[in-house]
Structure 1
């Protein structure tokens, strides 16, 4: 399965670039100003930094995959992918509905950044799992 190592690593790096792109986009859309007392529905700075750190880890693991010519480091990219996916799912399931419940007239919906982050996190997880299955097949 060594011939697929490069494409899997490139897919993990592309998913990491997707996470960075998603971090620059809005994660919540709402028309106009929010009423006073409504929590900010955007993804918080701390969670954005966690996602950025996950991308750094995934990129390092992809580099190690090429440097060592082994799939084991790339298999670990499923963990940063799960972190990104978990952060975004929490944002979509807890934060956005919570803010919309406080101010229903605000019409708060997920933004493009949330969907890009979710898709990139899932792809990064899938790339890591594919590498893990490749390692298991060769063992």
Structure 2
């Protein structure tokens, strides 16, 4: 059972590090650079990047606490930063990119690798946190 706990913590540690890498990667790919004056950069904004960075740092800290305590309870909270990262990535994919493309039809904008990495990190954190929560609940019953 301890191997499974450690494996979940290592997965969350790896996902948190991958989230940091995803924040460094570009989140938008420009297929044409012609934007009308006044249109902002369609890349993921600094505030959203900071929110994702804080979520990844929280997941990293929760994974370290789970490894130190040899328990799943701290790791169960990793689903919260995962949901935050999924929400930011999904909001960016669904709302931001089509609106910028409407404002600048000459500039075709597509999600780049950073957005997909963040979305994947959010899913991994959420699933791992839910699995840890279910395992800790089974042990308490």
1:16 aligned partner: 16
Structure-2 separation of matches of 1:27 and 1:33? 18
2:110 aligned partner: 109
Structure-2 separation of matches of 1:33 and 1:112? 22
Structure-1 separation of matches of 2:28 and 2:100? 10
Q: CA deviation at 1:38?
A: 2.0
For residues 1-139 of structure 1, the aligned pairs below 5 Å read 1-30=1-30, 31-139=32-140
Describe the superposition over 1:7-26 as per-residue Cα deviations: whole angstroms up to 9, x where unpaired: 10111111111111110111
Structure-1 separation of matches of 2:127 and 2:35? 37
Structure-1 separation of matches of 2:117 and 2:68? 29
Secondary structure of the residue aligned to 2:106 is helix
Secondary structure of the residue aligned to 1:13 is helix
Secondary structure of the residue aligned to 1:105 is coil
Q: CA deviation at 1:33?
A: 4.1
Give TM-score, length-normalised by structure 1.
Answer: 0.95
Give TM-score, length-normalised by structure 2.
Answer: 0.94
Instruction: Verify the 8 A CA contact 2:34 2:106 in the aligned structure 1.
Output: no
Q: CA deviation at 1:2?
A: 2.8
Number of equivalences? 139
Instruction: Verify the 8 A CA contact 2:35 2:106 in the aligned structure 1.
Output: no
- Structure 2 unpaired stretches of 5+: none
